[in-house]
Amino acid sequence: MKRIPLFLAMLLWAAGAAAQNPTAYFMEGSTFRTQFNPAFAPLRGYVNIPFVGSIQAGITNNLPLSKLLYPRDGRLVTLLDPSVSADEALAGLKTDNLLGTEVRMSLIGFGKFTKNHKNFWSFDLNLRTNAEFNVPGALFEFIKRGDEGSIRNLGLEAEMYADAGVSYSLPLLGDKLYVGAKAKFIVGLARAKVNFDRMDITLHDNRWAVEAQGSIEANIPGAEVNYRYDDYGQPYFESDDIEINKIKPAGYGFAVDLGATYEILPGLQASLAVTDLGFINWSKTSTVAGRAETSIEYTGIMIENGETSSTPDFSLDDLKQFRPIEAKGSVRALQASVNAGLGYFMWDHRVGFGLLYQARFREFKTLHSVTGSINFSPIR
């Protein structure tokens, strides 16, 4: 089991090394806060420098840092390190352990107030990439203890698309209520999902038997597959056998952001928004699909005192041979988010306190988070 621990260790280390922190939500001068709620407007108009005006990256996971990294002899190691006992490593794991990454690059963007300096409009063009990796807790139990088990929904999903959006916000009810909306036209560039919905591991004497069922669905522009053939002349392919033959969109879609803010009392503001509420229609011509049903045996594992002291050379590469199936077009929802905030500002908005709740609807799991913030602005 040489490749899986290394791969998982890199992902878990990355999850502990960075975390998405929506610090811009309560920063009134930030142009980025409109991404959380289109009813927000910055203090002035803006122009983003193409390609370098805004590059944002974040990593989210549903495990605390203390469950991923452990201090050992003056250094930090992951839970997969042999120095971390099975009981200690598995105590904080969940049934599904999710790692998600998000990257947003602003290709161009600008915004401006209207003549009344209350209504605000903006336009932006972004390149976005989302990916998530779901690791069932049962897989860690197999790695750390050599336990038999049924592993479900071991999967990886990623997508890349460009969106062009126009937003507009305006005040109502004597400036107490602000509402905003953003309409986005989307061009799907690429998407892939690999998921093993079933992986059963059983021990027979000194042999480990693995039976797995999985699927792959990829949307790649001008996709062509270089098929391989088994001893019976049946075609199959692996993920690296898919090639890009043409550069063109793989799908189109549409999405909206909707938001509102309301001043409950002087200085006390509540806000609510839903973002990326939409879909991408991935075309049939760009789709490659396959199914995998694999039975593999491994030898050489040793278990001492309830933990694995030696492991077989087990790799996911052994499981990724997919038989082609009929390709179909598909409509996939975007990864929407709900943002609800409560902020209090005092001393002419020089000091602010905020509380933000977020729900992110991901492919494998919905993630919830609560963020508290204190902001200080020495000058406007």
Quickly tell me which residue has 């049924």 as its tokens.
Answer: 150
Highest mean pLDDT of the ranges 66-70, 162-166, 347-351: 162-166
d(CA 219, CA 207): 38
Does the residue 153 lie in any domain?
A: yes
Residue 2 predicted with pLDDT over 60: no
Residue 185 domain-assigned (yes or no): yes
Q: For residue 357, is it within any domain?
A: no
**In the predicted structure, residue 43 carries a pLDDT above the cut 90:** no
Share of the chain above pLDDT 70, in %: 87
List the one residue out of 177, 136, 190, 150 whose CA is nearest residue 332. Answer: 190
Looking at residues 268-272, what average pLDDT do you find?
95
Residue 270, in any domain of the structure: no
Q: Which of 361, 8, 38 is nearest to 183 (CA)?
A: 38
Asked if residue 372 belongs to a domain, the reply is no
Ordered DSSP codes for 240-303: GGEEE-----SEEEEEEEEEEEEEEETTEEEEEEEEEEEEEEE-GGGEEEEEEEEEEEEE--EE
Domain count, the chain: 1
Residue 121 has pLDDT above 90, yes or no: yes
CB 194 within 8 A of CB 272: no
According to DSSP, the β-strands at 154-172 and 207-219 are unpaired
- H/E stretch holding 119: none
Residue 254: band (very low, low, confident or very high) from pLDDT cuts 50, 70, 90: very high
- 205 lies in which domain range? 3-261+277-336
**In this predicted structure, what is the pLDDT of residue 161?**
95
Cα torsion 116, 121, 122, 128: sign? positive
pLDDT class of 262 with cuts at 50, 70, 90: very high
Cα-to-chain-centroid distance, residue 262: 30
Q: Is 266 part of any domain?
A: no
pLDDT value for 339? 96
b/e sequence 65-82, b meaning 16+ C-beta within 10 Å: eebbbbeeeeeebbbbee
Residue 57 lies in a domain: yes
pLDDT at 255: 97
Residue 186 within any structural domain of the chain: yes
pLDDT at 10: 43
The average pLDDT across 288-296 equals: 86
Predicted confidence band of residue 309 (pLDDT cuts 50, 70, 90): low
Of 244, 277, 241, 283, the C-alpha closest to 259 is: 277
